[in-house]
């Protein structure tokens, strides 16, 4: 069996009285495209920091391609590229210098060909000789992505790489990351744009208050919320009695229901008729990751 790209076992981390990670265990296979999702403060960045050696766990073990991030940190860090969530840059350097120096930190001193390719792929070639201070926020974020890739790491973790990035780059960035994934790189990303995770990632872990509350293939997660999602707006505020147990209130006179199949629609309509209510608006769709995410976060 090949070694996992990333493996985490029994990870615990406290910040004073705050238990930021509670017994987190997780494995990501080589070549996977994996999403780590969760609301603000769930512990995603903390987990990534431990993997990157920026923070130390209180208990548990983390490995990158089988190398412990503490004991075998040199090898682990060589194999890992991290795009940090916080925008940071060195104000003394140009974009190209930033990448050359980052590359040198990994012991790679003649890396021009690859650096040029990253610059092009991330639409930075026009800015290569600009000072970092002169870049817009989105451009700085691109450089952050580029810095994580200078040493061609087999495992790449991106902590909200698309925050503050325009639509065009978001698409070209994902195209580039997909290409890296096809070339065999393992990709782990966090994002609050759930449609990105839904379309890109094969597998998803959801974190809440430092605990993993869901871990499954994206397709399984999407099915877990029922086949169909029905939304109805009525002419009155009360939900028909027969539906009260299943309905989720979405707004004034609006409620939603999960249906196992299309055949379930008829009984719902019958319940509405029986209650003497009139439907003002109705929509039917397959649940998306956002629906599932909300369900899981509410349930746990």
Ligand X SMILES: Nc1ncnc2c1ncn2[C@@H]1O[C@H](COP(=O)(O)OP(=O)(O)OP(=O)(O)O)[C@@H](O)[C@H]1O
**What does the binding site for another protein look like in residue numbers (CB under 8 A)?**
49, 52-56, 73-75, 77-78, 80, 82, 84, 86-93, 101-109, 147, 151
Report helix angle 137-149 to 167-182, nearest 10: 10
Cα 82 to Cα 84: distance, rounded to the nearest angstrom: 6
Query: Taking CB under 6 A as the rule, does residue 191 contact ligand X?
Result: no
Nearest one of 161, 148, 298 to 225, comparing CA atoms: 298
* CB closer to another protein, 78 vs 233: 78
Count CB-CB contacts under 10 A for residue 263. 8
Segment contacting ligand X by CB under 6 A, of 36-44, 59-67, 129-137, 164-172 = 36-44
Q: 3-state SS string over 88-156?
A: CCCCCCEHHHHHHHHHHHCCCCCCHHHHHHHHHHCCCHHHCCCEHHHCCHHHHHHHHHHHHHCCCCCEE
Smaller CB distance to another protein: residue 107 or 251? 107
Q: Where in 50-89 is the site for ligand X (CB under 6 A)?
A: 85
Q: Which stretch binds ligand X (CB under 6 A): 40-48, 103-111, 243-251, 291-299?
A: 40-48
Q: Which of 12, 27, 31, 41 binds ligand X (CB under 6 A)?
A: 41
Q: How far is the CB of 13 from another protein (least distance, A)?
A: 9
What's the angle, vertex CA 135, arms to CA 129 and CA 137, rounded to 5? 145
The minimum distance between CB 59 and ligand X, in angstroms, equals 16
- The minimum distance between CB 35 and ligand X, in angstroms, equals 13
Question: Which residue's CB comes closest to ligand X?
Answer: 45
Name which of 80 and 99 has its Cβ closer to Mg ion: 80
20 binds ligand X (CB under 6 A): yes
Q: Are strands 67-68 and 59-64 parallel, antiparallel or unpaired?
A: antiparallel
Distance CA 208, CA 223 (A): 21
Strand partners, 204: 35, 216
Nearer to ligand X, 16 or 91 (CB): 16
Map residue 238 onto helix, strand or coil.
coil
Closest to ligand X by CB, 86 vs 252, is 86
Residue count of the chain: 300
- CA-nearest of 202, 280, 271, 214 to 239 is 271
42 makes contact, choosing from ligand X, another protein, Mg ion, none, with CB < 5 to 8 Å by partner type, with ligand X
Local structure of residue 163 (DSSP, 8 states): T
- 46 lies in the site for ligand X, by CB under 6 A: yes
Q: Which of 42, 156, 188, 232 touches ligand X by CB under 6 A?
A: 42
Out of another protein, ligand X, Mg ion, none, what residue 38 binds, judged by CB under 5 to 8 A for its kind, is ligand X
Residue 95 or 165 with smaller CB distance to ligand X: 165
């Amino acid at each position: 069996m090949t070694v996992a790209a990333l493996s985490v076992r029994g990870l615990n981390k406290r910040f004073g009285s705050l238990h930021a990670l509670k017994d987190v265990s997780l494995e990501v296979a080589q070549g996977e495209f994996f999403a780590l999702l969760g609301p603000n403060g769930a512990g995603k960045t903390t987990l990534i920091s431990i993997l990157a050696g920026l923070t130390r766990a209180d208990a548990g073990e983390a490995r990158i391609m089988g190398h412990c991030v503490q004991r075998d940190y040199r090898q682990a860090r060589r194999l890992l590229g991290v795009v940090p969530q916080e925008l940071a840059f060195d104000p003394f350097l140009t974009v190209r210098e930033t990448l050359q120096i980052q590359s040198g930190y990994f012991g790679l001193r003649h890396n021009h060909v690859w650096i040029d390719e990253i610059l092009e792929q991330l639409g930075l070639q026009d800015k290569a000789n600009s000072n970092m201070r002169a870049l817009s926020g989105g451009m700085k974020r691109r450089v952050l992505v580029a810095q994580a890739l200078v040493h061609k790491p087999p495992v790449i973790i991106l902590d909200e790489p698309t925050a503050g990035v325009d639509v065009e780059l978001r698409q070209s960035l994902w195209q580039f990351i997909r290409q890296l994934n096809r070339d065999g790189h393992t990709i782990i990303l966090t994002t609050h744009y759930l449609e990105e995770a839904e379309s890109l990632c094969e597998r998803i872990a959801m974190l809440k208050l430092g605990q993993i509350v869901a871990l499954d293939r994206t397709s399984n997660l999407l099915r877990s919320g029922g086949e169909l999602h029905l939304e109805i707006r009525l002419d009155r505020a009360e939900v028909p009695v027969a539906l009260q147990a299943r309905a989720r209130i979405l707004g004034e006179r609006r409620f939603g229901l999960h249906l196992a199949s299309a055949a379930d629609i008829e009984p719902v309509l019958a319940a509405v008729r029986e209650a003497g209510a009139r439907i003002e608006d109705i929509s039917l769709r397959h649940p998306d990751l956002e629906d599932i995410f909300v369900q899981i976060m509410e349930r746990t």
